[in-house]
Amino acid sequence: MTAPRRAANVLAHAPFRRLWTAMSVCSLGDWLNILALTALAGNLNQGDYRMQSLAVGGVFIAKMLPAVLLGPLAGVFADRFDRRLTMFTADLARFAVVLSIPLIGTYQWVIVATVLVECVNLFWVPAKDATVPNLVPKDQLESANRLNLLVTYGSAPIAALLFAALSLVGDMGRSVLPFLSGMDPTAPALFVNSLAYLVSAFLIFTLRGIPKRDGAISAPSVLKQVVEGWRFVGGNRLVRGLIIGMLGAFAAGGAVVGVAKIYVVALGGGDAAYGVVFGAVFVGMALGMFVGLRLLQGLSRRRLFGLAITTAGVVLVAIALIHNLPIVVMLTVLLGACAGIAWIIGYTLIGLEVEDTLRGRTFSFLQSTARVTLLLVVAVANPLAALFGAHQFGLGTLAYQFDGSNLVLVIGGVLAVVVGILALRHMDDRKGVSLSADLIAAVRGERYPAEAAEHVPGLFVAFEGGEGSGKTTQSRLIAIWLRDQGYDVVQTREPGSTKIGMRLRAILLDAAERGLSARSEALLYAADRAEHVEKVIRPALYRGSLVITDRYVDSSLAYQGAGRALDPADVSRINAWATGGLVPHLTVLIDTPPEVGLTRLGGAADRIESEPLEFHQRVRKEFRALAAAHPDRYLVVDGTMAPEVLTRQIQDRIREILPDPVPRESEDITGTMPAIRD
Ligand code: TYD
């Protein structure tokens, strides 16, 4: 079943839908709250650069301190109360406190109110977390969590834009609406923010089906999680590289968030501009996660991880030094994109490459350290900016402004560059291959490492396709046709065309070998291929023969890379090594939907044939992607068409690349091969 379908199913549970709506509204309110309060703190301390920096920093600290100090305590309390009542009361309290902020309008109250709201959140959040499992069936819990994550971060850019719009209302509305006249431009945003909590209160109040309480929901203290977590994950080199990288990225991000407000003010932007810059980070993150990653698919993910963080650092330094608001907004999108790429790769690598026993701890360690890092950075960033103050340097007739916020951003940028390089060094899996060559190849969509193509006298054609695609039949027919024309043809196949290869094939396809790990499977196929190339294919090609192979490297990229979800760059690399970089002149892909192909198979299913349909669909998709990346080296034919039609299409294409007839001299090896089944 696909993820979106499952996600939609979770929302089919009316009570969960209600809770989810309440959460979405609250998330929107929470982001508005951060933006409005930091902006308000800056506005209330206008004039003095140092005071302004400290004021904004104060809000961040007030926001994070309660969770760090009182988190575990509140969890214990939350266990003892009725959850629905807890959430309802908390929402009402948040509504009242936030509403009071613009009405009172002093900085002291901003700080007190922030602490109060955060203390209330400490009850609301664990009560909510504990409620979710009560409202959705166990097997849908994961999709419920994914949906929660989606609204938690997905609401940020929406809130940022809403904040920008509401700030404009606040600015202009003051002359039209008398009750706004004495208030800060952030007042409308705070009103909407408080209203969000009121709406949530109503939704929660009408929510049935939350049991009073069951089980403990308290979490261990953050500090304890950090110390214990490091003991488990610190010993693993990959995890260490990932964590250093992700925390570095977080720290750099913290520096931006911390000083964004005062920097935007220094650039002459108002609250609306602050909202836009904030939103740009998230827009960039989304772009990085969805578009950036696809663009650079061929690059080793480990390399891309370090590279993204290093680039983020350079961009951050540029942001600090270029004092132009539109350029800063654009660079911020780029910064967000780099962060998004690094974050998603980090998470995926942990998911794929960290052993089961370590994975949970790694995630929770990361979450707790990320919070502590963010707190520390934000706490240090603003006082540091304040300490440095505002400076003007004269460059001839030009004056260049360099403030504390610029300094903090430069430091954050340099930190990210250092951390990015460290991560690159720590995790590099392509030592000896230059990064720029790799990058250029990746942008061009190449999967094979860029090596000069080997010139051989013969012609090398590979047939690829899923199970039951008919490629075995077609490759045989084509071999017969070519022989009839007087060519010397070697028809062969993978796996199992050499003595060693036959033994490897027996291991690989034996339905009983269920315990084979994905990596050893990939290595065994590559080992078979290495034998095949060295003993059969290359000698034949150097004799000037025409080699037709049933399956080659692409099968590994598709079955082991996409099917088994190994890193495609890894699979490509071991195969490039195994084959010495030998690439077919033409690959014929017989593209058949697995629903059709699988029904054509007779006899008992082997280890790979008995994989689920989704596996075969991934395989097919990958084959097609490989062909699409190099249309000049591929022929894609529709496997559902009549065999004679296919044969004709393939013949037409092969005719285009045939050399002059070569004399028939060597024996073909087909006769020695075992029966072939497609
Ligand atoms: P085979 O019986 O030759 O299947 P087919 O007739 O479909 O070619 O077995 C090859 C199986 O091995 C097939 O299921 C695909 C799988 N395979 C890989 O997973 N990776 C590879 O690199 C190769 C060559 C094959």
What is the rounded (10 degree) CA torsion for 626, 629, 630, 634? 40
DSSP string, 315-367: HHHHHHH---HHHHHHHHHHHHHHHHHHHHHHHHHHHHHS-HHHHHHHHHHHH
Between the CA of 494 and the centroid of ligand 1 the distance, in Å, is 7
* pLDDT at 656 (0 to 100): 87
Residue owning the nearest CA to atom 5 of ligand 1: 678
pLDDT at 47 > cutoff 90: no
- Report the C-alpha gap between 226 and 371 in whole angstroms: 10
Between the CA of 633 and the centroid of ligand 1 the distance, in Å, is 21
Residue owning the nearest CA to atom 25 of ligand 1: 555
End-to-end CA distance of the chain: 28
Task: Point out which residues pair with 636 in neighbouring strands.
Answer: 589
Report pLDDT digits (tens) over 157-192: 899 989 999 988 888 877 777 777 778 889 999 999
75-89 burial code (b ≥16 CB/10 A, e <16): beebbeeebbebbbb
Report pLDDT digits (tens) over 263-285: 998 888 888 898 898 889 888 88
| Sequence-distant (≥ 6) Cβ neighbours of residue 173 within 8 angstroms | 180, 188
- Report the C-alpha gap between 218 and 399 in whole angstroms: 55
302 band by pLDDT with thresholds 50, 70 and 90: confident
- Report the C-alpha gap between 142 and 157 in whole angstroms: 24
Mutation test residue for ligand 1: of 551, 600, 606, the one with most atoms within 8 Å of CB: 551
Between the CA of 487 and the centroid of ligand 1 the distance, in Å, is 27
- Which atom of ligand 1 has the smallest separation from the CA of 469? 7
The rounded percent of the chain whose pLDDT value lies above 90 is 39
Q: What does CATH list as the number for 1-219? A: 1.20.1250.20
Indicate the angle between helix axes 222-233 and 356-388, nearest 10 degrees.
120
Ligand 1: which residues within 6 Å by Cβ? 467, 472, 494-495, 509, 525, 550-551, 555-556, 559-560, 608-609, 677-678
676 band by pLDDT with thresholds 50, 70 and 90: very low
* pLDDT at 664 (0 to 100): 43
pLDDT at 1 > cutoff 60: no
CATH topology agreement for domains 1-219 and 459-667:
no
Report pLDDT digits (tens) over 189-236: 999 999 999 999 999 998 876 665 554 444 555 566 666 667 666 666
Report pLDDT digits (tens) over 551-573: 999 999 999 999 998 988 899 99
pLDDT at 669 > cutoff 70: no
Residue owning the nearest CA to atom 6 of ligand 1: 678
Residue owning the nearest CA to atom 16 of ligand 1: 608
Mutation test residue for ligand 1: of 523, 537, 559, 609, the one with most atoms within 8 Å of CB: 559
Report pLDDT digits (tens) over 481-505: 999 888 899 999 999 999 999 999 9
Q: Work out the number of other CB atoms within 10 angstroms of the CB of residue 14.
A: 12
pTM of the model: 0.57
Token code pair at residue 286? 């989304």
- Highest CATH level, class, for 226-446: mainly alpha
Mutation test residue for ligand 1: of 464, 508, 555, the one with most atoms within 8 Å of CB: 555
Between the CA of 556 and the centroid of ligand 1 the distance, in Å, is 9
Report pLDDT digits (tens) over 308-364: 999 999 999 999 999 899 999 999 999 999 988 888 788 777 766 666 556 666 776
| Sequence-distant (≥ 6) Cβ neighbours of residue 18 within 8 angstroms | 203, 206, 207
Residue owning the nearest CA to atom 19 of ligand 1: 559
Report pLDDT digits (tens) over 609-620: 888 999 999 999
Q: Is residue 549 within 8 Å of residue 494, measured between CB atoms?
A: yes
Binding residues: 465-472
* Region of 662 on the Ramachandran plot (φ > 0 left; ψ -120 to 50 alpha; else beta): beta
Report pLDDT digits (tens) over 350-400: 766 666 556 666 776 776 677 778 778 877 888 888 888 888 887 777 788
Q: What does CATH list as the number for 459-667? A: 3.40.50.300
Q: What's the mean pLDDT when you consider all of the chain?
A: 83
Between the CA of 504 and the centroid of ligand 1 the distance, in Å, is 12
- Report the C-alpha gap between 390 and 637 in whole angstroms: 67
Locus of tokens 């009073």:
212
Between the CA of 492 and the centroid of ligand 1 the distance, in Å, is 13
| Sequence-distant (≥ 6) Cβ neighbours of residue 493 within 8 angstroms | 472, 475, 549, 550, 551, 673, 676
Q: Between 38 and 65, whose confidence is greater? A: 38
Token code pair at residue 150? 């989606």
- Which atom of ligand 1 has the smallest separation from the CA of 526? 22
Query: Domain map of the chain by residue range?
Result: 1-219, 226-446, 459-667
* pLDDT at 163 (0 to 100): 93
Mutation test residue for ligand 1: of 471, 608, 615, the one with most atoms within 8 Å of CB: 608
